[in-house]
Amino acid sequence: MSNGASDEVGMDAFAALHADVRAALSERGFETPTAPQRKAIPALADGDHGLVVAPTGSGKTETAMLPVLSAIRGREPRHGIQALYITPLRALNRDMRERLDRWGETLGIEVAVRHGDTTDYERGKQAEDPPDVLVTTPETLQAMFTGKRLRRAIADVEHVVVDEVHELAASKRGAQLTVGLEHLREHAGSLQRIGLSATVGDPEEVGRFLTGDRGCRIAEVEAGSNIDVSVRTPEITAADRTAAGELLTDAELASHVRTIDDIVAAHDSTLVFVNTRQTAEGLGSRLKSYGTDLGIHHGSLSKSARVEVEDRFKTGELDALLCTSSMELGIDVGRIDHVVQYSSPREVRRLLQRVGRAGHRREATSAGTVIATGSDDAFEALAIVERAERGAVESAGIHHASLDTVANQIPGLLMGFEEIPAARAYDIVTRAYPFRNLSRAEFKSVVRELSDNRLLWLEEDADRLEKSGGTWQYFYANLSMIPDEANYTVTDMASGDPVGTLAERFVVTFAAPGETFVQGGEMWRITEIDDEAEEVLVSPVGDPTGEVPSWVGQEIPVPYDVAQHVGRTRADAHERFESGMGRDHVAEALTERFPADEHTASEALKPVERHEGPVPADDRVVVEGFGREVVLNAAFGHTVNETLGRLLSALIGQRTGSSVAMEVDPYRIELEVPSGVTIGDVVEILETTDPEHVATLVELSLKNADSLKYTLAQVAAKFGALKRWKGKGASQNRFGKDRLLEALEDTPIYDEAVRVVLHEQLDAATASDVLRRLQSGDLALETASQRTALGQAGRSSGRELLSPQNADASVVETVRERIMNDRVLLACLHCEEWDRRQTVERVDEQPECPACGSTRVAALNPWADEVLESVRTGEDRKDDEQRKQTERAHRAASLVQSHGKKAVIALAARGVGPRNAAFVINNHREDEDDFYRDIIERERQYARTNSFWD
């Protein structure tokens, strides 16, 4: 234990357990405890609260549950539930049930699972004859207070184990759970609390979160010493340039696809992590096109689709699983021997959690590879790997005093007690650690808001809260603190199976019958949209190059400390260049310090080497600009830069009366300022704005921000102040968002929405400190009169996975080669007797029919036999579809007759029908490369929208 238990005691950890448990351990081959078991089991067996911090696969579940099972085995049988095992995911429920069942069967301890999908029959059985151990979710715990028989059953609970507590600590679900545990304590009395966590930067704070600051024994096993991670920027090969044309992307991304495929081929079982669902779909579809044997797994896929790929991966049917954070939380998919992280993982804790999925054996090293996608990305990944190895992990980021969570929990208390004195409700809520500083005035304002919304009866004179007619309905509609975002279900028309979900925003702005998109790595065409049922009916399409769906709220912010690390590393590299060292030598020095090869280091260093003028660093801000563009090079991370950017935008806008466009990444704040605003004006604002006023000024600037209006609608829903309406555009709510903001401005709803935005997206405290240090000279502030290499090296918020807008020569050449090697069906429409399939390269400059000599030859897809059949069917026997196909074929023949092989090339491109082919040909300039660029643009539009062109 970190508080003093000796290794000698730890080695004998199993001796603290009941004899039957020790016998079960021996029977199952557990001879010696793992590191977390050595550190934690003796204290947990004594009944202490505890937090076990250790990598995935180190025996954390048994560390927590063996002492619990030991306690249950050692006491007299009871009617009620004796232990709750709470996990944030239903999939983890399933895994834990299977693992605990094996122990339960041996020890005669009954284990059951209860969550939203549990049948009414099972629920009734559990209430009538409760299991000894119940595996459940935070939301289902809330629902368990509502039934009389269940309340009797949970009165016997003596142990609560919270799995993945680090994940819950950073969310409102976790804040809700802490109040739920205090509610449980009202029914069951004091109980032992045990938390299981991945590596976090502040385990003591997470322990206080778990126990309500009642003391917590911390057993921590360092994760960084047990990982082996390298960072790679793949070299682009000739084969990558060829593959780029086939994959409809550029050579750089093709090299990433090829490298990931090589890694998958070299290992038995590989997880490929990406940071967003869009990237999962875009990269996944291209890996599938390349032939990589992998499945795709993320939260917007249907449960059945996720379970299917989990099972196929676990049984070895799939070599790899490409996933988002959906696979971070230890779902059992068997043994994994390597993890690929595509692009920087953004945070140390995320890298440790993801790479920690590999090497699920005792004392095994977890191996991983980060594929870097640019200079910023490479420096960032290297900084994160180095920080991970020395255990410099970010804090959990607990939501303190979230008022909508209070609003959610007061009806929950009424469901458990029917009525309750307001003072007692306040006492229960404030025993929970995140609410320990909640004032009585804040609590009262929340209660009055709930009363105004008819969710409870408030009798202020009697200090009493009672259930109202709206309490029950609100409670069951708001069991979860996960924001209520409308999603459309995607259903395969042929099978009736669910495919996944689409964000309402994507459906409203993009979707229409006939459009195509990628989900689950497969391409789907929309057949019908049912707004009332919120369902999109689709059918599969063969070629996975469609629009990638848009999901909300996935960008992972880069923390301040990581960005500072990048700033220091780049400044050090630039000093070496200034001293006369060449890039090879600087790259070599970088590889001695970081786990990267020389090519990766050399590529990352290119903009540093080209940079002229003062270099932005951890202790230096450089302001540069050209025309109306002003860029602050500031290595402060996403949330600090977002705060400074909003501050500058608001103050410049206030002075000029004009709006200011802003784009932020962890190392830059890019502003498009009104005419007349100079770099000097920006510097003056930084040097004269009072740091104490940052939070107030930023809060004022939020009133026009979509992020506040969007958050306000979510918070209002949790207060019961907003009735969502169904149908297309539902996310705009019944009120307009501006009217909503105006109506709620002086309410606790508005206060909470502001708090959420400041907590999750901004960092006013650190931004104030930055201004203070700039004004004191502790941070250097310099200017550059032109755009610099580092200033222009920023990455966009999301990498375009389709071919670039301005295709370079290598892309043009690969697309040209691909089209020339494609096959085409030539058919004479004059005699209707002759047709032939051949490669485009072998087509004559002016095709003609060898049977009749006519040049009226149509160029069709090589599989377009039904088009030929339509052409050759008599006019009186053609249906409408056959008439359309015949007309289309004749338009293609007219183009070939007028423009020869050039028309054949255009028609052979993907999704380029006669109308678009005519456009490309007529728009053709003399440069052949421009002709192919036009074709690429048409293909790009086809891949993004619709594969049927008139």
Rounded Cα–Cα distance for residues 885 and 866 (Å): 9
Q: What is the mean pLDDT of residues 742-766?
A: 90
Q: What is the mean pLDDT of residues 742-748?
A: 86
Q: Which of 98-102, 118-122, 726-730, 873-877 has the highest mean pLDDT?
A: 873-877
User: What's the confidence (pLDDT) of residue 215?
Assistant: 95
pLDDT classification of 690: cutoffs 50, 70, 90: very high
User: What's the confidence (pLDDT) of residue 492?
Assistant: 85
Answer whether residue 717 shows pLDDT above 90. Answer: no
Would you say the pTM of this structure is higher than 0.95?
no
Q: What is the mean pLDDT of residues 316-330?
A: 81
User: What's the confidence (pLDDT) of residue 132?
Assistant: 94
Q: What is the mean pLDDT of residues 872-877?
A: 88
User: What's the confidence (pLDDT) of residue 928?
Assistant: 77
811-839 pLDDT tens trace: 677 778 888 888 899 999 999 989 998 88
Higher pLDDT, 945 or 281: 281
Q: Minimum mean pLDDT among 55-59, 609-613, 698-702, 875-879: which range?
A: 55-59
Q: Which of 323-337, 417-431, 537-551, 913-927 has the highest mean pLDDT?
A: 417-431
User: What's the confidence (pLDDT) of residue 10?
Assistant: 44
CB 217 within 8 A of CB 40: yes
User: What's the confidence (pLDDT) of residue 484?
Assistant: 63
Rounded Cα–Cα distance for residues 539 and 492 (Å): 6
User: What's the confidence (pLDDT) of residue 479?
Assistant: 87
pLDDT classification of 935: cutoffs 50, 70, 90: confident
Answer whether residue 432 shows pLDDT above 50. Answer: yes
> What CA–CA distances, in Å, run from 117 to 180, 498, 800?
20, 16, 38
87-99 pLDDT tens trace: 887 666 666 777 7
CB 918 within 8 A of CB 801: no
Answer whether residue 75 shows pLDDT above 50. Answer: yes
Q: What is the mean pLDDT of residues 259-282?
A: 90
Q: Average pLDDT, whole number, for the chain?
A: 85
pLDDT classification of 810: cutoffs 50, 70, 90: low
DSSP alpha helices (H): ranges in 340-439? 348-355, 375-389, 403-417, 422-431
Residue linked to tokens 């009585």: 440
pLDDT classification of 733: cutoffs 50, 70, 90: very low
Higher pLDDT, 367 or 550: 367
Answer whether residue 547 shows pLDDT above 60. Answer: no
774-791 pLDDT tens trace: 999 999 999 998 888 898
Q: Minimum mean pLDDT among 105-109, 259-263, 293-297, 920-924: which range?
A: 920-924
Answer whether residue 802 shows pLDDT above 70. Answer: no
% residues pLDDT > 90 (the chain) = 46
Closest CA to 93 of 153, 140, 150: 140
110-161 pLDDT tens trace: 998 887 777 778 888 888 899 999 999 999 999 999 888 889 999 999 999 9
478-502 pLDDT tens trace: 888 877 666 788 888 877 888 877 7
Q: What is the mean pLDDT of residues 624-630?
A: 87
**Cα 128–Cα 133–Cα 134 angle in degrees, nearest 5:** 70
Higher pLDDT, 207 or 945: 207
Higher pLDDT, 521 or 754: 754
CB 639 within 8 A of CB 395: no
Q: Minimum mean pLDDT among 513-522, 624-633, 769-778: which range?
A: 513-522
Rounded Cα–Cα distance for residues 416 and 409 (Å): 11
Answer whether residue 368 shows pLDDT above 70. Answer: yes
Give the dihedral of Cα atoms 643, 648, 653, 658; nearest 10 deg.
-100
Counting every residue written for the chain, the total comes to: 950
> What CA–CA distances, in Å, run from 345 to 153, 320, 557, 660?
43, 19, 10, 31
pLDDT classification of 738: cutoffs 50, 70, 90: low
560-577 pLDDT tens trace: 999 999 999 999 999 999
User: What's the confidence (pLDDT) of residue 93?
Assistant: 60
Rounded Cα–Cα distance for residues 16 and 621 (Å): 57
- 742: tokens are 């105006």
Element containing residue 383 per DSSP (H, E): helix 375-389
Closest CA to 798 of 436, 326, 425, 274: 274
Identity at 434, one-letter amino acid code? P
Element containing residue 160 per DSSP (H, E): strand 159-162
Higher pLDDT, 866 or 302: 866
Q: What is the mean pLDDT of residues 509-538?
A: 75
User: What's the confidence (pLDDT) of residue 728?
Assistant: 33
Rounded Cα–Cα distance for residues 686 and 700 (Å): 18
Answer whether residue 917 shows pLDDT above 60. Answer: yes
pLDDT classification of 548: cutoffs 50, 70, 90: low
What residue ranges define each of the domains in the chain, with the CATH number in brackets?
Answer: 7-222 (3.40.50.300), 226-389 (3.40.50.300), 403-477 (1.10.10.10), 487-541 (no CATH), 611-784 (no CATH), 809-944 (no CATH)
Q: Minimum mean pLDDT among 45-49, 309-313, 326-330, 880-884: which range?
A: 326-330
User: What's the confidence (pLDDT) of residue 9?
Assistant: 43
CB 161 within 8 A of CB 84: yes
Give me the long-range contacts of 508-516 (CB less than 8 A, separation at least 24): 508/728, 508/729, 508/731, 509/550, 510/547, 510/550, 511/536, 514/946, 514/948, 515/547, 515/945, 515/946, 516/541, 516/546, 516/547, 516/945, 516/946, 516/947
Q: Using DSSP, state whether 233 is helix, strand or coil.
A: coil
User: What's the confidence (pLDDT) of residue 946?
Assistant: 37
**Cα 139–Cα 145–Cα 148 angle in degrees, nearest 5:** 145
Answer whether residue 735 shows pLDDT above 50. Answer: no
Q: Minimum mean pLDDT among 223-237, 289-303, 785-799: which range?
A: 785-799
